[in-house]
Amino acid sequence: MVRTPDDPQVLLLTSEMFPFSKTGGLADVMGALPVALHRAGVRVAVCTPFYGRLSAGGHEVRLVQERCPVGFPWAPITAEIYRTEYHGVPVYFIGRSEYFDRRYYYNTYSGDYFDNCERFTFFVRASLQWARQMKTAPAVIHAHDWQSALAPAFLHYLRSSDPFWKDTKSVFTIHNLAFQGRFSNRLFEGSGLPTEAWNQEGVEFFGDFNLLKGGIAYADAVTTVSPSYSREILSPKFGCGMEGILSKRRDVLHGILNGADYDVWGPHDDRYLPCSYASDDSSGKIECKKALIRELWLADQLEDRPLLSFIGRLRKQKGIDLLIEILPQLMNKGLGVVVLGEGNLEYEQRLMELVEEYPGTLAVVIGYSEDLAHRIHAASDIFLMPSRYEPCGLTQMYALRFGTPPVATAVGGLIDTIVSYPSPYATGFTFAKPEAKLFLSAINQALRLWNNKASWRSMVRRAMKQAFTWERSAEQYVKLYKSIGMTIESD
Ligand code: ADP
Ligand code: GLC
């Protein structure tokens, strides 16, 4: 059976999309941005891999094309295309079991999958070939992160060889510059890109094939997920080696802050919570705290003590080592700490050792649990985010909405989303550098304010009123799409 694709103006390419697949914030963004664009009047569709461990999330997923040709260098190899609709947005899943039917998306505990370059080049090529069957080409291809980054590069060359693509523009969004998809130069040959792409202004990076660089070098517009990060990445400290090419492309580089999907993340109506609550009534939050204390076998006395939480990947980026370093000092203060995360084995082991030392006051859940993340946000008093860098960060936005003021490093998106104490408008606490001493003193500041119930309540109320809506972010993307040539039919 062959059905022609819908006819989107903007086609988004992503390796993760909530609720179908998720390892982190990219998935949340891609579960919300397309819907917000659709609501803003843009015809959008999404291409994403058809992973073996895909969660259909109650949506009907149908095979719409059995053998979508992918072309050189995959001449005899084809992709399966599946389709579903998510809040009015067509979603195409690109399938090929030998590439995507695996336990994990990108890596196992022992490292990255050896064929990641081939897997995601295939994904990009298949997405473009599927789009090639549309009546008219999309006005914009919007690719996200290294896994989709070759789309602007392919498009650049397709524009001159295939009239179908001649007016299509590309946008490339960087969610995390540290993940680049950097591979041996031998893999370039098999990618299907023409030889002229192999140069310093193209995909070559210190002799290696760098997919992320392809997105940065060839896209008509490059964006990243917060204004502060868009400035930081021009410096060697945050640029991960890309500061040179980014500075060259500075004129087309934009920082558009992510939104938070408050339909999914909000205490007023959250299906994972034992009860809901609003900013003018804290009783529900107290109930959530009591329930989590029971759920995690923590001591009842913690009901009247501050409960601090950390949710995230256990990686250096997130500063989990800083939290580990100060944990013994923190635990002496008669408070509770909850950690939910997975990642680096060494951090996981150290945290489990610490649990033995602080039974009843430290809870560590190693693993990934969407619903527990909601309950922790709702139950805790203070959210910890000592990131070394943070392109945007979504968990601090969720924490704000749940009335859990964050203590966070003043970097990237954390600067753009948290108003730091002692401002009269403060919604949380930031500290200047990712250092254990500064982190601890910011937590102490938060604990002092927590003891002053009236001041704490007003900070919580302000935090809960913050609204980083996707409507606002989508508006900026639409403006950007228009600036590179897209017209909206309703205009
Ligand atoms: P990043 O994308 O850098 O990991 P973000 O703050 O943008 O950071 O997004 C992280 C997302 O992943 C949030 O939705 C957060 O709740 C979720 N998350 C991270 N680790 C876990 C975990 N162990 N269990 C459940 N959700 C997690
Ligand atoms: C990345 C970043 C994070 C950002 C997310 C979504 O994973 O690390 O800061 O919020 O992408 O854009």
Measured in Å, residue 69 CA sits from the centre of ligand 2 at: 33
Measured in Å, residue 470 CA sits from the centre of ligand 2 at: 15
Cβ–ligand 2 distance for 378 under 6 Å, the answer: no
Answer yes or no: same fold for 10-259+471-483 and 283-467: yes
Measured in Å, residue 192 CA sits from the centre of ligand 1 at: 34
Can you give the pLDDT at residue 136?
92
Can you give the pLDDT at residue 58?
85
Cβ–ligand 1 distance for 391 under 6 Å, the answer: no
Cβ–ligand 2 distance for 338 under 6 Å, the answer: no
Which atom number of ligand 1 is nearest to the Cα of residue 377?
16
Q: In the structure, what pLDDT confidence band is assigned to residue 4 with cuts at 50, 70 and 90?
A: low
Measured in Å, residue 487 CA sits from the centre of ligand 2 at: 29
Cβ–ligand 2 distance for 24 under 6 Å, the answer: yes
Can you give the pLDDT at residue 238?
98
Domain 10-259+471-483, CATH number (from 3.20.20.70, 3.40.50.2000, 3.30.300.20, 3.40.367.20)? 3.40.50.2000
Can you give the pLDDT at residue 280?
83
Q: In the structure, what pLDDT confidence band is assigned to residue 110 with cuts at 50, 70 and 90?
A: confident
Token pair for residue 399?
């924490």
Closest ligand to C-alpha of residue 375 is 1
Can you give the pLDDT at residue 487?
77
What are the sequence ranges of the domains in the chain?
A: 10-259+471-483, 283-467
Q: In the structure, what pLDDT confidence band is assigned to residue 242 with cuts at 50, 70 and 90?
A: very high
Quick one: average pLDDT of 474-481? 98
Q: CA-to-CA distance for 79 and 463, rounded, in angstroms?
A: 46
pLDDT tens-digit readout, 189-230: 989 999 999 999 999 999 999 999 999 999 999 999 999 999
Q: In the structure, what pLDDT confidence band is assigned to residue 486 with cuts at 50, 70 and 90?
A: confident
Cβ–ligand 1 distance for 19 under 6 Å, the answer: no
Cβ–Cβ under 8 Å, residues 338 and 310? yes
Report the residue among 14, 16, 21, 28 best suited for mutation to probe ligand 1: largest number of ligand atoms under 8 A from its CB.
28
Token pair for residue 448?
């002092």
Domain 283-467, CATH number (from 3.90.105.10, 1.10.150.120, 3.30.450.40, 3.40.50.2000)? 3.40.50.2000
Q: Is 67 left (phi over 0), alpha (psi -120 to 50) or beta?
A: beta
Which atom number of ligand 2 is nearest to the Cα of residue 391?
9
- List the residue whose alpha carbon is closest to atom 19 of ligand 1: 312
Query: Which is more confidently placed, 345 or 74?
Result: 345
- List the residue whose alpha carbon is closest to atom 12 of ligand 2: 175
Cβ–ligand 2 distance for 411 under 6 Å, the answer: no
Measured in Å, residue 419 CA sits from the centre of ligand 1 at: 22
Cβ–ligand 1 distance for 311 under 6 Å, the answer: yes
* Average per-residue pLDDT for the chain: 95
pLDDT at 152 over 90: yes
Cβ–ligand 2 distance for 225 under 6 Å, the answer: yes
Measured in Å, residue 390 CA sits from the centre of ligand 2 at: 7
Can you give the pLDDT at residue 256?
98
Q: In the structure, what pLDDT confidence band is assigned to residue 52 with cuts at 50, 70 and 90?
A: confident
Q: CA-to-CA distance for 380 and 293, rounded, in angstroms?
A: 10
Which atom number of ligand 1 is nearest to the Cα of residue 342?
23
Q: In the structure, what pLDDT confidence band is assigned to residue 251 with cuts at 50, 70 and 90?
A: very high
Cβ–ligand 2 distance for 16 under 6 Å, the answer: no
pLDDT at 491 over 70: no
